[in-house]
Every structure is written in C-alpha cells, then in structure tokens.
Amino acid sequence: MGDTLVVSVRGGRASDDHSITLRLLPHLDALSARLKVAKLSAFQDGSALAAEFADEFAEAGVDVPAEALQERWFDPRPALEAVRAIVTHLESNFGALGFRPDETRAHWPNDLMDELRETAALLEEAVAAGARFRFLLLM
C-alpha cells in the first residue's frame, strides 16, 4: 500500500485509505492558500509513523522526540471549512489544482473527489458529535 492518510474521528469511525489525498497534499495546500482556508497538512498526525520506526531510529543512535510520539487531535471545524471550499472549487475547475494526470493516474481526479467528499462527511460527523479528528499518517 505505501504511505497513506486515514481520516480518523476520535471515538468514531475512520476513513478508508486516502493515499491520493496524501500524494496530492502539496497541490491541495497550495489551493487552500489561494482560497484562504486552512491547509490540510496542518491536521496531520505522524505519531503512528514515529512509533513504527522508533526502534530503527534507536538502533541508529537517533532518539525520537517525545512530542513526535504524541497523538495530535484537532478541531474539525476549520478542516471542514477548508475541505468544503476545496471540493466546491474543484467541482467547477479541477484544473485549478495544478495536477495533470498521466495515463497511469487518469483515475486520480475522480478518486480524489471521492476521498474529499468522504473526508467532509467524516468531519461533519465530528462537528455534530463535538469530537476531535486527525489525518493519521500510516505506512
């Protein structure tokens, strides 16, 4: 599978693999800046990756900072505002993302939109439940 992102609601459900969102995150962050909404990368939690590789770092004589192992949970409202703005913008102008798929990635635009819509639904659930969320990075 490789690196992926999972949208996780604390005490709730989690998304499927959102690897296309992760791969296109630099494009999504650039679009977020143009739309003047929060960058999606601001909501990442890399604690699971840090924990997964802590032993390997220790064997190499490198300490993993304690804060890297701490789970990071976020208020879903700014993320929901950002995802809604991105989806609305891309529905009418996907080219604004600045991603030009080659033939091996021709499915990415539709898959990305599906991932973003699922993300919005999960964030809406989090807001309604008063729960926090995270974009959990996994291997």
Q: Please give the residue range of the domain that contains residue 124.
A: 4-41+74-132
| Interatomic CA distance for residues 98 and 32, integer angstroms | 12
Q: Is residue 95 assigned to a domain?
A: yes
Q: What is the pLDDT of residue 66?
A: 63
Hey, which residues does 137 pair with through a beta bridge? 5
Burial class (CB in 10 A: 0-12, 13-18, 19+), 133: buried
**Helix 25-35 and helix 76-92: axis angle, to 10°?**
90
| Interatomic CA distance for residues 91 and 69, integer angstroms | 37
Q: Is the pLDDT of residue 123 over 80?
A: yes
Q: Is residue 100 assigned to a domain?
A: yes
Q: Is the pLDDT of residue 54 over 60?
A: no
Single pTM value for the model: 0.88
Q: Is residue 30 assigned to a domain?
A: yes
Q: Is residue 68 assigned to a domain?
A: no
Closest CA to 116 of 97, 130, 103, 129: 97
Q: Is residue 59 assigned to a domain?
A: no
Q: Is residue 56 assigned to a domain?
A: no
Q: Is 98 left (phi over 0), alpha (psi -120 to 50) or beta?
A: left
Q: Is the pLDDT of residue 18 over 80?
A: yes
Please state the rounded mean pLDDT for residues 11-24.
95
Q: What is the pLDDT of residue 38?
A: 98
Q: What is the pLDDT of residue 1?
A: 37
What is the number of structural domains in the chain?
A: 1
Please state the rounded mean pLDDT for residues 34-45.
97
CA torsion, ordered 128, 131, 135, 139, to nearest 10 deg: -120
Q: Is residue 12 assigned to a domain?
A: yes
pLDDT tens for 56-101 read: 655 666 675 667 668 899 999 999 999 999 999 999 999 999 999 9
**Helix 76-92 and helix 108-129: axis angle, to 10°?**
150
What is the residue type of 91? E
